[in-house]
Each structure stands twice: as C-alpha cells, then as structure tokens.
Structure 1
Amino acid sequence: MILHDLITPFASFGFMRRALISCLALTVSTTPLGVFLLLRRMSLVGDALSHAILPGVAIGYLLSGMSLLAMGIGGFVAGLLVALLSGWVTTLTPLKEDASFAGFYLGSLALGVTLVSLKGSSVDLLHVLFGSILAVDGEAMECIGLIAGFTLLMLALLYRALVIEAFDGAFLRVNRRGYPRLIHGLFLGLVVLNLVAGFQILGTLMSVGLMMLPAVAARCWSGRLPLILLIAAAIGFLSAWAGLVWSFYASLPAGPSIVLSASLAFFFSVVFGPRGGIAVWLRKRREVSHYGER
C-alpha cells in the first residue's frame, strides 16, 4: 500500500514525472559540486552565488518576460561577474573570499528583487525566488539535461585537480603557477551554471539546498570521497522523490518540500551518522565515563 502511494503520483500525472526527472538530473550534477564546496570550506559560497544570479535573472525577465533562456543567460552572466569581482576584491584587499562574496550577494539579492518588482507581480517574484517545478516543460528538461551532462564531463576531467586542491592546495600553488586559479574559476563557473539550472525548477533561493544539504549529510556517513559522492547523490534522489510525494498529498509547494526533505536527511545524518554524529559522540562519552568510574 505504501509503495503504491509512492508510485501513483508519477504513474498518473505527466507533470509529476517531468518534475522528478528534472530533479534527478539536477541532483546528479549538483551534489558532487556541493561535496567539493564542502571539502574546500566554501559551503556558503554556493548560497552567495545563488543570490548573485538574481539580478541577471531579473534583467532577462525585464527584457523577455518569463523566458527561461533569457533569464538563464542573464543569471549565468551575473553569477560569473560576482564570482570574478569577489576574487578580484580578495586579491586586492585584506578581505577573505567569503567576506567579499557576502558583500556582493546581499546587494545582488536586493537589486534582483527590486528589478523583478519593477515590472512583475508578486506571483512573478515568487516564481523567480522559489521556482515552479511542477510547471517544468520539455525545453527546461532539455536545458537541465545538457547542463548535467556537461557538468559530469567537466568534473571527470577536473576530478584529480579538484581532489588535490581540496586536500593539498599548497602543492598546486607551489608547483603550478596560475593553474589553481584556472581550476578555481572553472569550478565556480560550474557552480553558477548548475544554480542557473536549479533556478528554473527550484528558484534562486531554493536551488542551493539540493546542492549543499545532501553533501553535508553524506559527510556524516563516510570519510572516503567516492563513497561520499555516491551517498550525496542517493540522498538527493530520495529527497527529490519524498519532497514531490509530500507536496502531492499535502498540497504543499514542491520546491520547498524537496529542500525540507533534504533538511530532514541532514538532521538525521547529524544525529545518527557514524562520522561525527551526535549519537556516536554521546555513546563514546558514556563509554569514557564508564571506564573512568571503573
């Protein structure tokens, strides 16, 4: 009976199938990026870039209305511009990269909301901020599929360099001048590209959730990178499925339901995960206290 309820929405309605396929394609490409952001201690950079794309999305909306192509191109250009400006400010000032990103993304968020409000209604603003995953059409699915495929290809080519930079960045900086900056720039470009793909279904505020939450949750279950990548993808798949089913039966917004499902997986992992979970920590503490008493 439970299995039937989990399958029925997707077997009966085409819009639910399109939403699920889009989420699964997005999960394949975004969760590895989230893992590498986590390993590079840049978890909040993804959130900053998700806000940074908003002015470009808004400009595309002002010029072409609800055209996914125009808004996607605008968002990609805006995200890259903020990434480049943040890196430039970091090299010329004492500010760390996270501080410069914070300064730019707050202004970008305010500017984007203002621009959308100039022409659109509150409904249009909600669509941009939180997406409309249940309205995904064939064009959006093709776009997401192409971005996911391109991202996986680039990650396969950059995998070794990304791993070295995440665990021993000093080695690259000492032995290969300019190479770390190129890798860093390409990586941030992939992050922006996937946030643009995610905005089409989850909105600019929610897209980073499917990128980071499964990655952080997976880190609580394993210390081996290949296994972390697989676990993150699995958590992303389950979150997308559970969120869509939850939204279908409870009449809730689909995008926030998916991110909330990923949040529940994160909390469960933080409590019960064998790699630093709270339950493990409490058990070890009890064992230490027990041996101390003896």
Structure 2
Amino acid sequence: MIDALIAPFVDFAFMRRALLGCIAISVGAVPVGVFLMLRRMSLTGDAMAHAILPGAAVGFLVSGLSLGAMTIGGLVAGMAVALLSGFVTRVTALKEDASMAAFYLISLAAGVMIVSTQGSNVDLLHVLFGTVLALNNDALILLCSITTITWFTLAVLFRPLILECADPQFLRSVSTLSAVTHFAFLALVVLNLVAGFQALGTLMSVGLMILPAAAARFWATGIGGMVGVAIVAAIVSSATGLLLSYHYSLPSGPAIILVAGAIYAASVVFGRHGSLMARYLPRPHLAS
C-alpha cells in the first residue's frame, strides 16, 4: 500500500514535477480563492479563467506551445477583460457580474474559435484541460515565482483585503487604498489562473482555486485557519488525483478536481461549522 502511494513519485521524474507544480499552485492560488469566496466573487474566478483563453490562443498561434508566449497572452487577455468589465460597470447601469459574464463568454468563444481553426483537436484539449504530467523546469520556475509574488502581495495588502471583504464601503471612506487593493487583487486572480492554466488548462484551473477554499469554510472560521485548511485540502487533492491518474490511466487534471470536489462534498456533510451534521445533529454536550 505504501509502495503504491510513494513509488510513482520516487520512480518517475514527470510525477515529481507534476506534484511540485500542483503544490505551487495550491500554495499560491488557494489563498486567493479564499478571498474570492469571502468577497462573494467565486464565479468571478471562473469568468476570469475563461477570459485568459483568447490571449493564450493567440500566444499559441504565434509560438506554438510556448510557455512564455501563452503566459504573456493569457495575462494580457485576463487583465484586459478585468479592466473592461470594471469600466463598463462604472460608466453604465450594468452590474459587475453581468458585464463580467458578457466579456468571459465572448472571450471563451473567441479562444475556442482561434485554437479550433488554427490548431488540432489535441491542441484544443491541451489549452482547455492542461497537461500537468508534462510540466518542465521552466513551467515549475514560473509557478513558484507566481506563488512567491502572490504571498508577498497578500502580506502587503492583507489588512485592506480583510476590510474590503467585511465592509468595502467603509474602506473607501477611510482609505485611498480601496481601488489599489481591488485591482491588485484582480491582478492576483489573473496571475494565479495563468499559473493554473499551465498545468490544468483554462477549464480546470479555477477548480483548484475555489473548491478547497469552499471546503475549508466548513472546518475553520478565521481567515488564517481557512487558508491553512484549504492549502492542505488542495495538496491532498493534487497528490491523490495524480495517483489515481497513474494507477487507473485517468486524465490527471479532471482527476485532481474531482478529488477536490469529493473533499468539498464530505465537508458539506461532516464539517465542524455550518455543515449538515453541525446544523441538524445535536452535539454531545447538548444531547439529552
């Protein structure tokens, strides 16, 4: 049993690189997912994940499956959608969720069209679902660098981010950091989705960002606790998904996200705070 859990990572370098890449994504993207959840912007993360697709597709057309070109293209497209949706929200009567949905649908359709017309079905699957088992050293350096940038930025903006989660109107009234915090946070979302895109593709990357964060809400109440639980859940999901992929010849990205989904489902039922059991079953010290 122990051999089945450890041997794939000991014997194969591609499995070790895949695990290291997933750990980097977990440590970097999951705290951003916690703040997305607290700000009630979880679906915004999904929208931004689709928004990077046309930029990555253009990078693919220019340089093929080039890490640098697809990363730069994804960053440009994601930032453009974030800024455009914010601009439309500020100058028109359309709400932010509606403008974001409109831009992400356009971006998704454009990206799929570009890849489908200029590439093969294999290229389209690579862009949409990623190739975590094919991560190279350059991709790992990129993922670890984005994780470092994320933690540094969160450390600098930690207090404004917490205050914006609790009362954004108050933050606007007492500080000039409101706009800076908002757009810096959106930049972190895009940056980490681009990182996740390298391993899990545009359709799966947001799953490792949001599902562990949602599961952590049932086990911890403080932000620090939620971040810690969510990171552990994401790393466990990654390792388990990779092992399932190795032993049963499953697609690695969907396997990782499905394990994260199973952890979320278990948390909904058995979690300590707000779960089904916590709400509807009496606690021992309250039982008659």
TM-score, normalised by the number of residues in structure 2? 0.97
What amino acid maps onto 2:46 in structure 1? D
What's 1:264 paired with? 262
Residue of structure 1 equivalent to 2:219: 221
How far did 1:118 drift? 1.8
1:209 to 207, 210, 219: 207
- 1:138-193 alpha-carbon deviations (Å, 9 max, x no partner): 1111111111111111111111111111112122111124x211110000001101
Alpha-carbon distance in 2 for matches of 1:112, 1:170:
36
Instruction: Tell me, in whole angstroms, the C-alpha distance in 2 between the residues paired with 1:79 and 1:32.
Output: 19
> Residues 215-294 of structure 1: matches in 2 within 5 Å?
215-284=213-282
Q: Is 2:11 aligned against 1:17?
A: no
Alignment of 1:151-230 (within 5 A): 151-177=150-176, 179-230=177-228
**Aligned residues: CA RMSD:** 1.5
- Cα distance change on mapping 1:3 and 1:60 into 2, 3 Å: same
Q: Quick one: distance in 2 between partners of 1:74 and 1:118? A: 18
Query: 1:45 maps to what in 2?
Result: 44
Shift of 1:284: 4.6
Aligned length: 287
Give the secondary structure class of the aligned counterpart of 2:19.
helix
Alignment of 1:53-64 (within 5 A): 53-64=52-63
Which secondary structure state, in structure 2, belongs to the residue aligned with residue 212 of structure 1? helix
DSSP-derived class of the 2:157 partner: helix
Query: 1:228 is aligned with what amino acid?
Result: M
Paired amino acid for 2:148:
G
Structure 1: any 5+ residue segments left out of the alignment?
Answer: none
State the shift of 1:30 in Å.
Answer: 0.4
Which consecutive segments of 4 or more residues in structure 1 shift more than 6 A? none
| In 1: Cα distance, 2:124 partner to 2:282 partner | 49
In structure 2, the residue matched to 1:74 is 73
Fraction of identical pairs, as percent: 53
Q: How does 1:20-169 map to 2 (within 5 A)?
A: 20-169=19-168
Residues in 2 aligned to 1:97 and 1:229: alpha-carbon distance in whole angstroms = 26
Q: Secondary structure at the match of 1:111?
A: helix
Q: Normalising by structure 1, report the TM-score.
A: 0.95
Query: Aligned-pair distance for 1:97?
Result: 1.2
**Whole-angstrom CA distance in 2 between matches of 1:151 and 1:283:** 40
Q: Aligned equivalents of 2:223 and 2:53: distance in 1?
A: 32
* One-letter amino acid of the counterpart of residue 29, structure 1: G
SS of the residue corresponding to residue 207 of structure 1 reads helix
Q: Structure 1: how far apart are the matches of 2:150 and 2:72?
A: 17
Paired with 1:246 and 1:130, the residues of 2 have a C-alpha distance of 17
Question: Aligned to 1:144, what secondary structure does the other structure show?
Answer: helix
Q: What is the distance in 1 between the residues matched to 2:55 and 2:253?
A: 21
SS in 2 for 1:124: helix
Q: Once the 2 structures are TM-superposed, how far is the Cα of residue 205 of structure 1 from its aligned partner?
A: 0.5
